[in-house]
Amino acid sequence: MPLRRPFTSLFRPQRGPDQSVLTEHRGLVETIDRRKLLRGTLSLGALTMLTGCNISDRDAVQTVLRAVSGFNDGVQALLFDPNRLAPTYAASQVVKPPRFNAYYEIEDLKPVDIGGWNLELSGLIADKRPWSLERIYALPEQEEIIRHICVEGWDYIGQWSGPNLRDFLTRVGADLSARYVVFHGNDDYMESIDMPSALHPQTILATKYAGEPITDPFGFPLRLRTAVKLGFKNPKWIRAIEVTNSYSPGFWEKQGFNWFSGL
Ligand SMILES: Nc1nc2c(c(=O)[nH]1)N[C@H]1C(S)=C(S)[C@@H](COP(=O)(O)O)O[C@H]1N2
Ligand SMILES: [Mo]
């Protein structure tokens, strides 16, 4: 099934002259090339040229992200280093409001009715009692200013805060040796991430953007924000979290995107 819109129509450069997704991820790209994991379509020479010239060509960035995203999941999981932090940014770089995306147009948004909302927990979790938003707000908050990268070819820097996911999973007695953490959105969106990424220090259950509660289009009342995954692995309008050892493909995997889709 083709993507809803062509990448090129989404070309919106939002960066200064000395920043590029590639430069930021140069270490990763070089590691990948050293391990001979690139699929032959891109050489290190080509990548170095791209990293050296402050690319403004979003298609080129897209190509590299695709290459990174196209690896065998097992190999990527091995490359994953939980102590490696993704780049963070200054508050002055934060885009306000953030940029909306969903698998449908904004007109079709169905905001969460907070009156009937509780965060549900299922699967390999000892304490499955649901969480009210009030209780979630009472948890310690972590803030992070990180880049959101969408596979449709655009990105922005955002400032998210909320409880750290590792702390939350620990608190509810989740089995931290399980393979997957699955997020179910109020809009029937479902995506799963690997446990090491769920436990990464830059993975949070975000309740706020730029210090204010997240607004409807961006996932009110609760969304995932992780610095180690592409945009689509950050479900919005979370209504349930499930810890499991069984794999089920989410919306984007069914479009052919790589499940790991992360750093
Ligand atoms: N519930 C839900 N979460 C979702 C999506 C969606 O369609 N539904 N789209 C994903 C995609 S592809 C992207 S790029 C980001 C967009 O987040 P933003 O609107 O805050 O930029 O949300 C992700 N999470
Ligand atoms: Mo996306």
Q: Is the pTM of this model over 0.85?
A: no
If you measure from the C-alpha of residue 184 to the centroid of ligand 2, how many angstroms do you get, rounded to a whole number?
16
Could you tell me how many helices (H) and strands (E) the chain has, helices first? 9, 10
Whether residue 48 has pLDDT greater than 50 = no
Name the closest-CA residue to atom 17, ligand 1.
101
Q: Is the pLDDT of residue 143 over 90?
A: yes
Pair of tokens at residue 160: 């998210």
Q: Reduce the DSSP state of residue 242 to 3 states and report it.
A: strand
Residue 132 has φ and ψ, to the nearest 5°, of: -80, 160
pLDDT reported for residue 155: 82
Name the DSSP class of 210.
T
The model's pLDDT over 90-129, given as tens digits with 9 standing for 90+, comes to: 999 999 999 999 999 999 998 999 999 999 999 999 999 9
Place of tokens 């050892």: 245
Pair of tokens at residue 48: 């170095």
Find out whether the beta carbon of 148 lies less than 6 Å from any atom of ligand 1.
Answer: yes
For the chain, the structural domain boundaries read: 8-79, 91-254
Q: How confident is the model at residue 257 (pLDDT cuts 50, 70, 90)?
A: confident
Mutate-to-test residue for ligand 1 from 234, 254, 261, highest number of ligand atoms within 8 A of CB:
234
> 194-231, pLDDT tens digit by residue?
999 999 999 999 999 999 999 999 999 999 999 988 88
CATH H-level, domain 91-254: superfamily: Oxidoreductase, molybdopterin-binding domain (3.90.420.10)
Q: Which residue has the tokens 């950050």?
A: 234
Distance of CA 154 from the midpoint of ligand 2 (Å)? 8
Cβ atoms of 116 and 133 closer than 8 Å = no
Q: State in Å: Cα 171 to ligand 1 middle.
A: 27
Q: Which of 30-34, 74-78, 248-252 has the lowest mean pLDDT?
A: 30-34
Which residues are CB-neighbours of 140 under 8 A, at least 6 positions away? 163, 164, 167
102 lines ligand 1 (CB under 6 A): yes
Gap between the Cα atoms of 185 and 164, Å rounded: 19
Q: 38: pLDDT confidence band, cut at 50, 70 and 90?
A: very low
Task: List, for residues 175-194, the tens digit of each pLDDT value.
Answer: 999 999 999 999 999 999 99
Answer whether residue 75 shows pLDDT above 60. no
239 lines ligand 1 (CB under 6 A): no
Backbone CA torsion sign across 125, 77, 148, 2: negative
- CA 234 → CA 15, 63, 192, 230, distances in Å? 22, 21, 9, 8
Position 18 scores a pLDDT of 35
Report DSSP letters for 129-159, one per residue: --B-HHHHHTS--EEEEEEEEETTTEEEEEE
C-alpha radius of gyration, the chain, whole number:
18
Q: Which residues contact 152 (CB under 8 A, 6 or more apart)?
A: 3, 5, 7, 10, 101
Element (H, E) at 61: helix 58-69
**Cβ contacts of 49 within 8 Å, gap of 6 or more:** none
Cα–Cα distance measured from residue 258 to residue 240, given in angstroms and rounded to the nearest whole number: 23
**What is the bridge-based pairing of β-strands 208-209 and 212-213?**
antiparallel
Band the pLDDT of 44: cuts 50, 70, 90. very low
- Ligand 1 mutation target, pool 220, 232, 252, 254, most atoms within 8 A of CB: 232
Give the model's pLDDT for residue 27: 54
